[in-house]
Amino acid sequence: MPWIPSPRLVNLLIAMTAAAAMAAALYLQHTVGLEPCPLCIFQRVAVISAGVIALVAAVHAPALTGRRVYAVLTALAAAAGVVVAGRHVWLQHLPLDQVPACGPGLDYWMAALPMQEVVRQVFRGSGECAKVDWTLFNVSLPEWTLLLFLGLLAASIWQLLRRS
């Protein structure tokens, strides 16, 4: 019979992957000088959320029902990340004449608008979100992040559906 990692180990790996992703994002911001756009910030919130939930699940190591609850919560955070990163990738692939104009920025929106309107403005995107500042193997940062979220979502769904 093949070795199957324990639910606790899988949750720990999810948490470590999220921590590594955040470390990479902070490195790119503070060392390379890439400033995060509003969609990037929302993606960071989703990565942190998935990682914290998975870490709590790894430390708690609950029985089957609890594992499934944590798996659903982690999957929801990862799915939110898929939505935000997918929107970001979509904006980056728009023709130049269809890219939204740059807005005043997230700090201004948070100070001047209600939270519901801030979320609406972020999802509309702006010119800064459509700009590709960095690539690795010709894949942009939002595309890498989308792949990360798809992996976290797959691991969470596997945790939800597994029997042992």
Q: What's the average model confidence in pLDDT over 120-144?
A: 77
Of the pLDDT bands very low, low, confident and very high (cuts 50, 70, 90), residue 42 is: confident
Of the pLDDT bands very low, low, confident and very high (cuts 50, 70, 90), residue 38 is: confident
* Domains held by the chain: number: 1
Q: What's the average model confidence in pLDDT over 14-38?
A: 92
3-state helix, strand, coil in the chain (%, to 5): 75, 0, 25
**Tokens standing for residue 111:** 């100070």
Please, which residues have CB within 8 angstroms of residue 56's CB and are 6 or more apart in sequence?
Answer: 70
CATH number of residue 130's parent domain: 1.20.1550.10
The pLDDT of residue 121: 67
- Is residue 2 in some structural domain? no
Q: What percent of the chain has pLDDT over 70?
A: 83
* pTM of the predicted protein model: 0.82
- Is residue 88 in some structural domain? yes
- Is residue 145 in some structural domain? yes
- Determine phi and psi for 155, rounding to 5 degrees: -65, -40
The pLDDT of residue 83: 92
- Is residue 140 in some structural domain? yes
Q: Select from 12, 88, 84 the least CA-distant residue to 45.
A: 84
- Is residue 1 in some structural domain? no
How far apart CA 4 and CA 12 sit, in angstroms, is 14
Distance of CA 49 to the CA centre of its chain: 8
- Is residue 143 in some structural domain? yes
The pLDDT of residue 9: 93
Per residue in 60-112, pLDDT (tens digit) is 988 989 999 999 999 999 999 999 999 888 888 877 776 665 555 666 666 76
- Is residue 91 in some structural domain? yes
Domain span at residue 29 reads 7-161
- Is residue 118 in some structural domain? yes
